[in-house]
Amino acid sequence: MSTVTRFAPSPTGRLHVGNIRTALHNWMLARKAGGRFILRIDDTDAARSREEYVDAIRADLTWLGLDWDREERQSARLDRYEVAFDALRAAGRIYPCYESAQELEVKRKIALSRGLPPIYDRAALKLSDAERAAKEAEGIQPHWRFLLDHAEPIRWEDGIRGAQKFDAAQLSDPVIRRADGSWLYMMPSTIDDIDMGVTQVLRGEDHVSNTAVQIQIFTALHAAGFAATSGAAKAVPDFAHEALLVGREGKLSKRLGSLGCDAFRERGIEPESIVALLARLGTAQPVEPIAERAVLTDSFDLSSFGRAPAKFDEEDLERLNAAIVHQLPFAAVADRLPEGMDEAGWHAIRPNLAHVGEAADWWRLVTGPVDQPDFTPDDRAFLAEAAAALDWNEDPWGTLTAALKQSTGRKGRSLFLPLRQALTGMDHGPDMGELLPLIGEDEARARLTRAAQA
């Protein structure tokens, strides 16, 4: 069966770095296997979902280079959820409940005060038909819970965490539908995975208990005769749960929830850098400045993931970004470079950049004007000799410095620094052998002459 993965964000806000990591890993899992990657917009929460966030999700994934083979929206699939709901209700696997949120909170506090887990007591199952009718006559509309089967432990082999076992009796029967008829996460997600033929679900470890519940929902739906619209489907997908991201201090950070593609773009972070970091963060594989997506995808391996929290360090991202920028070809950045900068200019300036946006500052070394320092009389005489000795050929810098070394006896810093300062106004910068031809003969001679006369 072909590998099918999915990324299922809710359009209630912008993607943050944790979401991006989940999307990337599911994309890589599918692409490595030659399978399909589905973007599923989980927009059943009509009150909080916004179309602007749907557009932003698409734009962010596109910027990251995470293409999808199919897009689905839960809001367009409500009829399928009704079919499944009816099937499970007929099978006795869902039941109506009438407690208010306040009543449930009181029950939770009482259980905790007695040292018991805050598990729903299934009081609604004890109501008679007459009692249920009386509540509804009072205007109390039920919410609906899925009835967990306590007979057998819930087991699965997790792709990262290994063998997992849950006692269903230690879990609350999950609410799957609100009193207003709207859906919660559990059942629609399971139905979608069945209909869309999802074979592998890779998500954060905060969903482990959800997986235990959803495995029973998968089983109950199949037993109730609910069939996938796409034909044959895997009875239950393979599940894997990766450790959550934490900040550099090793704690869950609110900042991680605000870091998204818009913030990265504003800071000049390349999408290749984000991908290179997140692809291996939390694994045994080294995080390296690998810009080639195929290399990262080919090396993606769930068995390399560890159980320890994955530390996201913004300083690491900055260092990685600089290394990635130093690899980017001219064609990849041409539309972001200052006017007049050609491939030779990019090649000369690229090693000095931490962000592509800094290219304009360095390009001013070529276009001028440059602010030259005050030179000593000896250096001015040296620069006057340099202006006269400038010989324009295939290697004007090498020819000039060789001639001056011969004629003046200068070497090292005393030879190179005054020349760099006169030509660029700086003590450091791009390789002068590449930069000088970009400045041009007339401008280079003019700068040397002006420095000698200052």
Model confidence pLDDT, tens digit, residues 420-439: 999 999 999 999 999 999 99
What's the rounded mean pLDDT across residues 264-293?
96
> What's the rounded Cα separation, in Å, for the pair 202 and 5?
8
How confident is the model over 103-160, as pLDDT tens digits?
A: 999 999 999 999 989 999 999 999 999 999 999 999 999 999 999 999 999 999 999 9
Facing residues of 70 across strands? 38
Please tell me the predicted confidence (pLDDT) of residue 231.
Answer: 62
Q: Which residue has the tokens 């690491």?
A: 316
CATH superfamily of 248-325: Glutamyl-trna Synthetase; Domain 2 (1.10.1160.10)
- The first and second tokens of residue 341, run together, are 């900068």
d(CA 21, CA 320): 16
> Is the N-terminal amide bond of 369 cis, ω within 30° of 0?
yes
Question: Considering only CA atoms, which of 432, 454, 436, 434 is closest in space to residue 444?
Answer: 436
In 300-321, which positions are buried (b, 16+ CB within 10 angstroms) versus exposed (e)?
bebeebeeebbbbebeebbbbb
In sequence order, the 6+-apart residues with CB closer than 8 A to the CB of 120 are 104, 107, 145, 172, 173
The helix/strand/coil state of 453 is: helix
**What is the C-alpha separation between 139 and 339, in angstroms, rounded?**
70
The total of other beta-carbon atoms located within 10 Å of residue 26's CB is 26
Q: For residue 57, how many C-alpha atoms fall within 13 Å in the half-sphere facing its CB?
A: 24
Q: Are 174 and 213 in contact (CB under 8 A)?
A: yes
Strands (E), 193-285: 200-204, 238-242, 245-246
Measured in degrees and rounded to the nearest 5, phi and psi for residue 5 equal: -120, 170
Residue 191 has pLDDT above 70, yes or no: yes
**What average pLDDT does this structure show over 269-289?**
97
**Phi/psi at 205 (5° precision):** -70, -10
Helix (H, G, I), strand (E, B) or coil at 138: coil
Could you give the 3-state DSSP secondary structure of residue 163? strand
Q: How many CB atoms lie within 10 A of CB 234?
A: 16
- One of 3.40.50.11540, 1.10.10.350, 3.40.1160.10, 3.40.1030.10 is the CATH number of 368-453, namely 1.10.10.350
- Phi first, then psi, for residue 229 (nearest 5°) are -70, -20
- CA distance linking residue 307 with residue 309, whole number of Å: 7
The pLDDT of residue 255: 78
CB 328 within 8 A of CB 320: no
When comparing pLDDT for 335 and 233, which is higher?
A: 335
Query: With 70 as the cut, is the pLDDT of residue 311 above it?
Result: yes
Residues 6+ apart with CB under 8 A from 423: 370, 432, 435, 436, 439, 444, 447, 448
Longest Cα–Cα distance in the chain: 110
Termini Cα distance of the chain = 77
Q: What is the pLDDT of residue 408?
A: 96
3-state secondary structure (DSSP) of residue 320: helix
- Answer whether residue 454 shows pLDDT above 90: no
CA distance 180 to 406: 89
pLDDT digits (tens, 9 = 90+) for 215-266: 999 999 999 999 887 766 678 999 999 999 998 777 666 778 788 999 999 9
Q: Whole-angstrom Cα distance, residue 401 to residue 405?
A: 6
Which residues, 6 or more positions from 440, have their beta carbon under 8 angstroms from its beta carbon?
A: none
CATH 1.10.1160.10 residue ranges for the chain: 248-325
The DSSP H or E segment spanning 156 is strand 154-158
Question: If you average pLDDT over residues 69-92, what whole number do you get?
Answer: 97
pLDDT score at 258:
81
Asked whether 91 and 81 are in contact (CB, 8 A), the reply is: no
Q: Angle 441-453/413-424 helices, nearest 10 degrees? A: 110
pTM of the predicted model as reported, rounded to 2 decimal places: 0.91
For residues 237 and 193, the answer to whether their CB atoms sit within 8 Å is yes
Residue 175 C-beta-side C-alpha neighbours within 13 Å: 19
Helix (H, G, I), strand (E, B), or coil: what is residue 324?
A: helix
Look up residue 243 and give its DSSP letter. P
Q: For the chain, give the mean pLDDT.
A: 95
CATH 1.10.10.350 residue spans of the chain = 368-453
In one-letter notation, the amino acid at residue 219 is T
- Residue corresponding to tokens 């005054």: 418
| pLDDT of 313 strictly over 70 | yes
pLDDT reported for residue 139: 95
120, 103 in Cβ contact below 8 A? no
